[in-house]
Amino acid sequence: MAICMPRIIQAKKILKRSFSNGCSTSTTMNIPKGHFAVYVGEQEKKRFVVHVSLLSQPTFQELLNQAEEEVGYNHSMGGLTIPCNEDVFTDVASHLGAL
């Protein structure tokens, strides 16, 4: 089983950029070490805090690729935003043990 390191590195860069682009200190303090926040939803966004191990999962990487193709990564929320159905995200994250 191979892990695609370039995608993981890309995802980490996106997270760093997200935190430097407007996440307040109080928002980032609510995130335990080894986790990150992601905003999910098509219209209203819901915040999820998930473990970084999710970044190495091909299914999650596919969600990231779809998000990049649809809307890019520069969002007003200041964090990583995935514009998919919330149920789809919770199913994927739960299946991967990230929630």
Q: pLDDT 10s per residue in the chain (99 long)?
A: 445 556 556 655 555 544 444 444 444 557 889 988 888 988 888 999 888 888 888 988 888 888 888 777 666 666 788 888 899 888 888 888 766
Whole-prediction pTM value? 0.65
| Domain residue limits, the chain | 5-95
Overall residue count recorded for the chain in this entry? 99
